[in-house]
A and B are shown apart, each in its own frame.
Chain A
Amino acid sequence: MFNLIVIIQSIVSGLLIGGIFALLGVGFSLTWGVMKVINIAHAAFGLLASYIAYWGLNLYGIDPILSLFLSLPLLFVTGLFIHRFLIQHITRSKDIIVASMILTFGLAIILENIMLLAWTPDERLITTSYSSKAIFLGDIIIRISNLLGFILSIIGISTIYLFLYHTKTGKAVRATWQDPEGAALQGVNLQKVSMIAFGLAIASSGAGGVALAYMYSFNPPSHNLWLIFLFLVVIVGGVGSIMGSAISGLLIGLITGLSNAFFPMQWINVLLFGLLMVILLIKPEGLFKK
């Protein structure tokens, strides 16, 4: 039962999934940290990209990775509009975090039901020509699609990292996050910078959504479960921390992978929710926050 192969196998697949959790969580963490907006609809946007990939594949035979060239710009622009016409209205409210949660809760409900209308509640699965192929390292199996999703996450997270640390706009985003008033005094256009950061965050959720769709079947309400993972990633990693999100994503993937091997299916989610509760109660500022 408890043999080494099973353990290594679950560690490997756990880490692969964890990378994707990290990619999904990075944007969520960014909006929460930079503009104090908790975007409940974050996972729903990711799911939207999964459905675009599903459609592209099944109707036109487009590879899911290629579909990102359509869905990511689309999500980015959607993000700009949402920030301009919705988020900016609540930035003056007394408690922006709570207000944004309610606002994006509404958005998530709308998105979920639009997806229900467009794609029905049936479970969908992205099946490409390489879905059934795998790499064998001794007795360890690595599925090509999982590996692709993982590579996608590494590219996505690195892009966001490079953007934040090596471009002017990115530096402005970080400045805004550390001290909005100071940044504004230095000539940073806060509205514009937040808008770009929001668009980028939503686009990154699209990449995460497609990567996750490679591994799990999905239907419109799936984003609710994804959201719990987002909260886990962000709260464990510390709000607003890119590296924290990356590490905590891998960690949570690892826990999921290992518990998949040793726990009955139906108790895994109880375990994860319980873990989130415990971490919130003990160390709400995150495990990796400096």
Chain B
Amino acid sequence: MIKGKAKFLLFFVILFLIILPLIKPPTYFLSLIFKIFLYIILSESWNLIGGFTGYLSFGHVAFFGIGVYTSAILMQNLGISPFIGALPAGILSSAVALIIGYPCLRLRGPYFAVVTLCFAFIVDLVVKNWNFLGGSEGIHLKLMEMDIQISRSIFYEIFLGLSILIVFFSRWIQNNKFGLGLAAIREDEDVAQTLCINTSDLKIKAFILSAFFPGIAGGIYAYYISYIHPDIVFDISISILIVLMALFGGGSSWSGPLIGAIILSIVNEILSLFIKPEFARIIYGGMFMIVIVFMPDGIVSFLKGERGK
């Protein structure tokens, strides 16, 4: 529960983030925060299935990419604005999650991880070879006819809203009956089943929800980048990054992915500014290993545990 003082602080942080574009910060700064919001949305929604339920999906980028392509195709062929097209994008992502999740969620542990990884690869390859979707040439969307500062601010505000929504949604889930059911699956699925928890029902719901938000975010992101290519939006390293962020922060709580996404996005930005990308990725790989060896429950509980001693 959030206490009085923290609530006050939280209110001011959110208010500050809302009015930030009005004081006209540099566009680069706005884009950086936009990117952080994107990763908060992605890793928080991944966490519904990966963290709360304990089913490590390495294919989550596919749902994001499906969202991007849906709204891009809707805009290019029917002229529907991506701000509206994001909704069908989210719904399509969820529908795909339903179809894929139904058979795949029967698999556990590494088998689930591998099957989702394969799924992401297949979607990527199919999009690349399908001419209707622009194939490997990609799709060019018309830019918004607006000043770049204003258009960036609009995207910023939308993603801010989505991030706040998903964080509170995730917090709400964690504390209600649905979330407790998911936690029971994570701790011991067989025992959960014997306690009359309908595990397959809960799992598929969590999977669908966790695909919905990346779909929406992808739908809007399509308009933001305006040039869409499978190599960008189906990049498997996005999947890996999402997993890393959630686990870095700690997957069993709503606050983990939030903190993980903020810290790692900033670290990523600083690293890519100052050193070669290869070195940056070596440090990233090292962080994977440090996280799993020294703080298997994530940085949030690691810090809490330290304070408790």
Q: Which size class do A's interface residues fall under?
A: 35 or more
Let me know if A137 is at the binding interface, CB within 8 A. Answer: no
Number of interface residues of B (CB under 8 A): 39
- Across the interface, do A99 and B296 meet the contact criterion of CB distance under 8 Å? yes
- Across the interface, do A89 and B288 meet the contact criterion of CB distance under 8 Å? no
Instruction: Using A266-B125, A266-B129, A281-B107 as known contacts, say yes or no to A108 and B285 having CB atoms under 8 A apart.
Output: yes
The answer for the CA separation of A103 and B282 in the assembled complex, in Å, is 13
- Across the interface, do A105 and B288 meet the contact criterion of CB distance under 8 Å? yes
- Among the stretches B9-17, B20-28, B108-116, B167-175, the one at the interface with A is B108-116
- Across the interface, do A101 and B293 meet the contact criterion of CB distance under 8 Å? no
Q: Which of B128, B279, B282 has the most CB of A within 10 A?
A: B282
Instruction: Using A101-B110, A106-B292 as known contacts, say yes or no to A269 and B121 having CB atoms under 8 A apart.
Output: yes
B287: chain A residues at CB < 8 Å are 106
* Closest chain A CB from B267 CB (angstroms): 15
Choice from A38, A106, A281 contacting B286 with Cβ under 8 Å: A106
Choice from B236, B247, B282, B291 contacting A110 with Cβ under 8 Å: B282
A95: chain B residues at CB < 8 Å are 54, 109
The answer for the CA separation of A274 and B106 in the assembled complex, in Å, is 17
- Across the interface, do A103 and B113 meet the contact criterion of CB distance under 8 Å? no
Let me know if A97 is at the binding interface, CB within 8 A. Answer: yes
Identity of the chain A residue whose Cβ is nearest the Cβ of B288 in the assembled complex = A106
- Across the interface, do B289 and A107 meet the contact criterion of CB distance under 8 Å? yes
Chain A residues 34 to 86 lying within 8 A of chain B, measured CB to CB, are: 38, 86
B32: chain A residues at CB < 8 Å are none
* Closest chain B CB from A94 CB (angstroms): 8
The answer for the CA separation of A105 and B288 in the assembled complex, in Å, is 8
Choice from A98, A110, A113, A269 contacting B56 with Cβ under 8 Å: A98
- Across the interface, do B282 and A89 meet the contact criterion of CB distance under 8 Å? no
Let me know if B119 is at the binding interface, CB within 8 A. Answer: yes
B104: chain A residues at CB < 8 Å are 281
Let me know if A267 is at the binding interface, CB within 8 A. Answer: yes
- Across the interface, do B107 and A284 meet the contact criterion of CB distance under 8 Å? yes
Instruction: Using A106-B292, A228-B118 as known contacts, say yes or no to A281 and B109 having CB atoms under 8 A apart.
Output: no
- Across the interface, do A90 and B282 meet the contact criterion of CB distance under 8 Å? no
Describe A's contact surface by its main secondary structure. Answer: helix
A269: chain B residues at CB < 8 Å are 121, 125
The answer for the CA separation of A95 and B279 in the assembled complex, in Å, is 30
B293: chain A residues at CB < 8 Å are 86, 89-90, 103
Choice from A102, A270, A273 contacting B292 with Cβ under 8 Å: A102
Let me know if A231 is at the binding interface, CB within 8 A. Answer: yes
- Across the interface, do A281 and B115 meet the contact criterion of CB distance under 8 Å? yes
Identity of the chain A residue whose Cβ is nearest the Cβ of B281 in the assembled complex = A113
The answer for the CA separation of A102 and B293 in the assembled complex, in Å, is 10
Let me know if B126 is at the binding interface, CB within 8 A. Answer: yes
Contact with A along B32-52 (1 / 0, CB 8 A): 000000000000000000000
Let me know if B240 is at the binding interface, CB within 8 A. Answer: yes
Let me know if A162 is at the binding interface, CB within 8 A. Answer: no
The answer for the CA separation of A168 and B259 in the assembled complex, in Å, is 50
A86: chain B residues at CB < 8 Å are 289, 293
A109: chain B residues at CB < 8 Å are 281-282, 284-285, 288
Instruction: Using A93-B296, A284-B107 as known contacts, say yes or no to A113 and B282 having CB atoms under 8 A apart.
Output: yes
Contact with A along B88-127 (1 / 0, CB 8 A): 0000000000000001101101110111001101100110
A231: chain B residues at CB < 8 Å are 114
The answer for the CA separation of A276 and B118 in the assembled complex, in Å, is 8
- Across the interface, do B292 and A277 meet the contact criterion of CB distance under 8 Å? no
Q: Which of A93, A98, A101, A276 has the most CB of B within 10 A?
A: A98
Chain A residues 226 to 280 lying within 8 A of chain B, measured CB to CB, are: 228, 231, 235, 266-267, 269-270, 273-274, 276-277, 280
The answer for the CA separation of A55 and B209 in the assembled complex, in Å, is 50
Instruction: Using A106-B287, A114-B282, A280-B111 as known contacts, say yes or no to A99 and B292 having CB atoms under 8 A apart.
Output: yes
Let me know if A185 is at the binding interface, CB within 8 A. Answer: no
- Across the interface, do B279 and A273 meet the contact criterion of CB distance under 8 Å? no
Identity of the chain B residue whose Cβ is nearest the Cβ of A96 in the assembled complex = B109
The answer for the CA separation of A165 and B267 in the assembled complex, in Å, is 50
* Closest chain B CB from A184 CB (angstroms): 24
A-B pairs, top 9 by smallest CB distance, nearest first, are: A106-B288, A109-B285, A110-B285, A106-B289, A106-B285, A113-B278, A273-B118, A89-B293, A113-B281
13 residue pairs bridging A and B, Cβ less than 8 Å apart: A86-B289, A90-B296, A98-B113, A99-B292, A99-B296, A101-B113, A105-B285, A105-B288, A106-B284, A109-B285, A110-B286, A113-B281, A273-B122
Binding site for A on B (CB under 8 A): 54, 56, 103-104, 106-107, 109-111, 113-115, 118-119, 121-122, 125-126, 128-129, 236, 240, 243, 247, 276, 278-279, 281-282, 284-289, 291-293, 296
Given A113-B278, A228-B121: 18 more A-B contacts, CB < 8 Å: A38-B110, A98-B109, A99-B296, A101-B110, A102-B288, A103-B292, A106-B285, A107-B285, A109-B284, A113-B281, A113-B282, A231-B114, A273-B122, A276-B115, A277-B115, A277-B119, A280-B107, A280-B118
